[in-house]
Chain A
Amino acid sequence: MQAAHTAPSKLRAVSLYVFAVVLVLTATYLSLVFQVKLGNPFWLLFPVAVITSTWYCGKGPGWVAVGLSTLSVLYFFIPPDRSLAIKPEDIPFFLVFVACALISNWLIGWRKSTEDSLKRARDELELRVEERTAELKTSNEALVAQIEEQRRTEAALQVTRTELARVVRITTIGGLTSSIAHEVNQPLAAVVANADACVAWLSREKPDLAEARAAAERTIQGATRASEVIVRIRSLISKATPERAQVAINDTITQAVALADGQAFRNNVSVISELGPNLPAVMGDGIQLQQVTLNLLMNGIDAMSNTNNHPRELVVRSELQDSGQIHVSVRDSGVGLSAEVLARLFEPFFTTRSKGIGMGLPTSRSIIEAHGGKLWAEPNQPHGAVFQFTLPSVEGPSR
């Protein structure tokens, strides 16, 4: 490889010198041919040979061209012809010629080398620019890939979060089976009582059709209500992607209270609803907001299960704040929150209950935050705790 590389470059060097010699010989020949016709054109031809040699072949061949030209001029064109001797009166002329040749050779060489280094610099610059462009391109591609990756991760996170909310919801509902049984059983009891009454009126010796009809109509109402309850509970469990619609927060609260009712009754807790009138709607997922409310209610009931020296009251309140936010609070008079519990309340898997999984509050908080609101807890006076959240209403700040 090394040998193969040096052999042609040596050959090239030699050819450059040969080219310089050929140039000078050509200048000599042309000067001799046209000496008589044009009158000593060597003035012009030899500098051309020297400059060309230096420009194209480099400094070494240039110097050779200068030397040969000097000898040729001395030999052929400075009297006496065909001799290297020189007459004293021709010496200045000869010296000027040599000086011109030397200076032009030097100047051209300098110019050439400057140009070469300039060219090299330019080439190098171009190379660098190319390299940097390539680097930029790679890092840009990496960035795009990273953004895409992050987008995918976020989408996956969203799916996981929704799924987690659903699992927590189902877990919460699991603790509500008696409530749900009651919710379904009530309208069924109405159906049976009214159907029985209807049959009884028809079976009388003289059937009372008006009473029978009224009872039949109530039967239909009861059955309709039973199916509505089932639809509502199914929607709590079903795997629906969160939707964004206008939600009447008071309806959400009322439904959550109905679901928690059994638990409250069993724990001797009275639930007091103080719902603000004419509240504007909030944008969001009704089921998820119901889940949050239900979670807070269940926590409140649980906190009072050992309360005996004052009334077990759970107050759920909704109101519109001046900022245009809807504020919902759930106030219990239970065990309250120690500083340690308060600090860790929203940590995943933190629970003070033997049966809790510790995901209720973290999930609730993330749901509320996803709705653009805030959820927090404070101690209640004189007993218990207040859990509360805000949600932006569709109306915005009041004037």
Chain B
Amino acid sequence: MKEPESIVFVIDDEKLIRDGLQSLLKSVGLRVETFASAHDFLAAKRSDAPACLVLDVRMPGLSGLDLQLKLIEDNIQIPIIFITGHGDIPMSVRAMKEGAHEFLTKPVRGQDLLDAVQKAIAGDRGLRKERSELAGIRARFDSLTPREKEVLDLVVAGLLNKQIADELGTSELTVKTHRAHVMEKTQADSLAHLVRMAERLKATLRK
């Protein structure tokens, strides 16, 4: 599957700034979409592609920080580059705590913005890859039968086939068959690979 072209969303209530940022980003070959308000952005149909958000903190209606919280609430993961005036330190702290990718002060130097955007998109690309990998793993693991899952848990816990058979009150041969199915269904190359995949899944569940 070929990765779709990355995109930068610019949200600023000030048209001149919006146009300037769009022009700047386009000049280095980035695809840009602009919005005059956070509401417009939420209402728009967004293409599924590696992206980042260039967001003015201070806007009438829904502010940049409000939008950040709303996106977290809706489980929309997209790196945010905040742009703020001087002296909004408490705001910056709040935004960073909520996981803002970058914080730039107005007026933003062009190169700083381009660097931040490139970094954010690269980061998003990585995250998206990881997310799709995880989704694949989860799908494969979800295809296991309850019995196979029990076997998987015990395998990952480091038990030998014999010990597993004792634990489940079944024969070693049966365990071996289940284990082969697990390896096949999860597309694990080795025991180590299977353990790594199981750990990654657990880690996301803990989150």
Which residues from chain A sit less than 8 Å from chain B, CB to CB?
A: 178, 181-182, 185-194, 196-201, 204, 208, 211, 214-215, 218-219, 221-222, 225, 261-262, 265, 270
Residue of B nearest to A219 (CB): B20
The proximity string for B residues 104-115 relative to A, scoring 1 for CB distances below 8 Å and 0 otherwise, is 001111110000
Pick from B19, B20, B24, B110 the residue with the most CB of A within 10 Å: B20
CA distance A76 to B188 in the complex (A): 187
Residue of B nearest to A184 (CB): B85
Does the CB pair B19–A194 fall under 8 Å? yes
Task: Given A181-B85, A191-B107, answer yes or no on A196-B63 (Cβ-Cβ < 8 Å).
Answer: no
Residue of B nearest to A262 (CB): B58
Task: Given A181-B86, A189-B108, A190-B17, answer yes or no on A201-B27 (Cβ-Cβ < 8 Å).
Answer: yes
Does the CB pair B107–A185 fall under 8 Å? yes
* Contacts A186-B106, A215-B24 known; 7 new A-B pairs at CB < 8 A: A189-B106, A190-B16, A190-B20, A191-B107, A197-B20, A200-B27, A222-B20
- Size of B's binding interface in residues, CB under 8 A: 25
CA distance A353 to B16 in the complex (A): 39
CA distance A204 to B24 in the complex (A): 12
Does the CB pair A186–B14 fall under 8 Å? yes
CA distance A114 to B19 in the complex (A): 112
User: Which of chain A's residues have a CB closer than 8 A to the CB of B107?
Assistant: 185, 188-189, 191-193
Name the contact of B24 in the complex, choosing from A182, A197, A221 (C-beta under 8 A): A197
Does the CB pair B110–A193 fall under 8 Å? yes
CA distance A194 to B25 in the complex (A): 11
Does the CB pair A193–B58 fall under 8 Å? no
CA distance A200 to B28 in the complex (A): 8
Count, A-B residue pairs, CB within 8 A: 91
Name the contact of B23 in the complex, choosing from A185, A192, A215 (C-beta under 8 A): A215
Does the CB pair B23–A201 fall under 8 Å? yes
User: Which of chain A's residues have a CB closer than 8 A to the CB of B60?
Assistant: 261, 270
Query: Closest CB of chain A to B188's CB: distance in Å?
Result: 48
Does the CB pair A185–B85 fall under 8 Å? yes
Query: Closest CB of chain B to A208's CB: distance in Å?
Result: 8
24 A-B pairs (CB sep. < 8 Å): A178-B87, A182-B58, A182-B85, A185-B107, A187-B16, A188-B106, A188-B107, A189-B106, A191-B107, A192-B20, A192-B107, A192-B110, A193-B20, A193-B23, A193-B107, A193-B108, A194-B20, A194-B23, A196-B24, A196-B111, A198-B23, A208-B27, A211-B27, A215-B23
Task: Given A200-B24, A201-B23, answer yes or no on A192-B14 (Cβ-Cβ < 8 Å).
Answer: no
